[in-house]
């Protein structure tokens, strides 16, 4: 169990997350307006989104399907009867004066997410509910020195709010939860999980307590837009609350913001309760009734999800749980790996994908989709190692050239003359030259200094520019040194 050390002993953090995930859909939840990111301000706004009088919402069936699909992916209960409610509050970027959301009867009920933690252990976090709601517009405070501008392009876009149980106990677990949820959503194709563009945002609920005591008063940190910030905000907020309590103060239930430049949370407003929003069923929308057969049809189209894929990679490819986890964390990674491993040694393929490829991609700041080395070309490099055309050491040199140029491994090997020397006569000549130049070391080896064998191998590889077949070098060298 992860505790924070305070002046008065150990404290436990209790964390629950509300993740707002923008539904992948070409149209908004209740209007036909487009949802593309980055359009000119106020160019994707229908009369419904702008709340013109008399405009009625019409539900987008595809958004409902995406919510059900997500619920099934979270192994959650799908509610065949759900209700849309009006959540009443005033804000300049909310033209209706209310948000259409779901309150007491959401479309998806209890589910779960299995977290894969860095130490190799796993932990299940409960999902309380998933409900659908429309997003608000965006207030732009940096366009004018004295005015706030409003962009309603986002107004009415479909959001899934996925609410966790307060089951997490450390910033690390919260980070793992957001990563895993994002991975599941991307596998399902229901949200792109792009936190930089705001299509996935987190409200973080944090409270502290002495181990074994009831839950403390929580504070909610709104709209955190990166996993790193989620973790930093939790660490800071927990320590802030512990300090206040240990000094004899009490925690106010409030909404706070994470300041990304000062790395502190700041008070925003006192936290509203549900009754403050005066929820009531939206009179313009009938209750949503789903056919069980329709839900079953969606279930049949679900892809293989990360947990199932991880189990298959371990059993089918004999990968370690760690490697399997790294490879299935993103669908594009898993697909790339399977294309490389097809018909080849799966462990060697995993080593090259997770080692060389991911290392170079990280250094270059690229995603796997942008890799200059295709799965087919990486497979070609592994084939050259397998058939002894090149050694593993030369392969690293070839890979570097592949990453820089995008060329095929075989072409680079031919162009640079890197083909492995398997001619025993040529290798023998190199070994003879090395032994002749190091007669003193040969005498030492024969008098019992076995460790010098590595020295001779190194000298031969140096003389052949790393092109000699290592197995043949070892074999011939052993024979010669015993002579």
Residues 5-41: tens digit of each pLDDT: 888 889 999 999 999 999 999 999 999 999 999 899 9
Which positions ≥6 away from 22 have C-beta within 8 Å?
A: 35, 135, 157, 158, 159, 191, 192, 198, 199, 200
Query: What CA–CA distance (Å, rounded) separates 210 from 9?
Result: 8
Mean of pLDDT over the chain: 91
pLDDT digit string (tens) for 440-464? 777 777 777 777 787 877 887 787 7
Sign of CA dihedral 302, 303, 307, 309: positive
Indicate the number of domains in the chain: 3
CATH assignment at residue 443:
1.10.10.410
Instruction: Identify whether residues 252 and 392 lie together within a single domain.
Output: no
Do residue 333 and residue 390 come from a single domain? yes
Does one domain contain both 171 and 284?
yes
| Domain that residue 478 falls in | 424-482
% pLDDT > 70, the chain: 97
pLDDT band at 287 (very low <50, low <70, confident <90, very high): very high
Mean pLDDT, residues 128-136 taken together: 97
**Are residue 20 and residue 115 in the same domain, yes or no?**
yes
Q: Are residues 355 and 402 in the same domain?
A: yes
Is residue 397 domain-shared with residue 447, that is, in the same domain? Answer: no
State the pLDDT confidence band at 299, using cuts at 50, 70 and 90. very high
Domain boundary (264, 298, 332) is at 298
Same domain, 409 and 445: no
Are 97 and 242 members of one domain?
yes
Q: Are residues 251 and 397 in the same domain?
A: no
Last residue of a domain, one of 298, 319, 341: 298
More confident residue, 327 or 274: 327
Model pTM score: 0.85
Q: Are residues 206 and 289 in the same domain?
A: yes
Cα gap 394→384, rounded to integer Å: 10
| Number of CB atoms found within 10 A of residue 342's CB | 12
Residue 57: partners with Cβ closer than 8 Å, 6 or more residues away: 29, 30, 31, 48, 100, 282, 284, 285
Domain boundary among 416, 438, 470: 416
Please indicate, yes or no, whether residues 73 and 212 belong to a single structural domain of this protein. yes
DSSP three-state, residue 208: strand
Which of 200, 150, 172, 188 minimizes the C-alpha distance to 22? 200
The pLDDT of residue 382 is 94
Strand-pair partners of 78: 108
Mean pLDDT of 285-309: 97
Element (H, E) at 111: strand 111-116
Q: Do 283 and 348 belong to one domain?
A: no
Q: What is the mean pLDDT of residues 102-108?
A: 97
Which tens digit of pLDDT belongs to each residue from 427-436?
A: 777 777 777 7
φ/ψ of residue 284, rounded to 5: -90, -5
Query: Average pLDDT of 397-418?
Result: 87
């Amino acid at each position: 169990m992860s505790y924070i050390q305070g002046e008065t002993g150990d404290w436990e953090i209790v964390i629950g997350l509300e993740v707002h995930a923008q539904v992948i859909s070409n149209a908004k939840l209740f209007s036909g307006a487009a949802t593309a990111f980055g359009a000119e301000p106020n160019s994707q706004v229908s009369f419904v989104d702008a709340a013109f009088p008399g405009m009625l919402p019409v539900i987008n069936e595809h958004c409902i399907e995406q919510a059900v699909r997500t619920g099934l992916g979270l192994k959650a209960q799908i509610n065949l009867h759900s209700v849309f409610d009006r959540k009443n509050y005033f804000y300049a970027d909310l033209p209706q004066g209310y948000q259409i959301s779901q309150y007491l009867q959401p479309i998806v009920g209890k589910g779960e997410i299995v977290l894969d933690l860095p130490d190799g252990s796993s932990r299940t976090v409960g999902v309380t509910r998933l409900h659908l709601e429309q997003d608000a517009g965006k207030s732009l405070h940096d366009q004018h020195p004295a005015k706030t501008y409003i962009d309603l392009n986002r107004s009415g876009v479909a959001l899934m709010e996925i609410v966790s149980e307060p089951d997490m106990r450390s910033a690390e677990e919260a980070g793992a939860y957001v990563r895993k949820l994002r991975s599941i959503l991307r596998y399902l194709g229901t949200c792109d999980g792009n936190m930089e563009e705001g299509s996935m945002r987190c409200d973080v609920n944090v409270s502290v307590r002495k181990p074994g005591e009831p839950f403390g008063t929580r504070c909610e940190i709104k709209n955190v837009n990166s996993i790193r910030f989620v973790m930093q905000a939790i660490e800071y907020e927990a320590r802030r609350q512990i300090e206040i309590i240990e000094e004899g103060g009490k925690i106010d239930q409030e909404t706070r913001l994470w300041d990304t430049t000062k790395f502190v949370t700041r008070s925003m407003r006192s936290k509203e309760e549900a009754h403050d929003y005066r929820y009531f069923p939206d009179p313009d929308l009938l209750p949503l009734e789903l056919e069980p057969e329709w839900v079953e049809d969606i279930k049949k189209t679900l892809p293989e999800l990360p947990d199932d894929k991880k189990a298959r990679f371990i059993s089918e490819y004999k990968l370690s749980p760690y490697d399997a986890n790294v490879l299935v964390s993103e669908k594009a990674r898993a697909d790339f790996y399977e294309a490389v491993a097809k018909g080849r040694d799966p462990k060697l393929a995993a080593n090259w994908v997770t080692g060389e490829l991911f290392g170079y991609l990280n250094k270059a700041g690229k995603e796997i989709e942008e890799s200059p080395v295709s799965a087919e070309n990486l497979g070609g490099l592994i084939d050259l190692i397998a058939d002894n055309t090149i050694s593993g050491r030369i392969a690293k040199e070839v890979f570097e050239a592949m990453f820089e140029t995008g060329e095929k491994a075989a072409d680079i090997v031919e162009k640079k003359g890197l083909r492995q020397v398997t001619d025993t006569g040529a290798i023998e000549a190199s070994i003879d030259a090395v032994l002749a130049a190091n007669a003193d070391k040969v005498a030492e080896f024969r008098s019992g200094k076995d460790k010098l064998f590595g020295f001779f191998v190194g000298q031969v590889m140096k003389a052949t520019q790393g092109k000699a077949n290592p197995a043949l070098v070892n074999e011939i060298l052993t024979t010669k040194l015993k002579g």
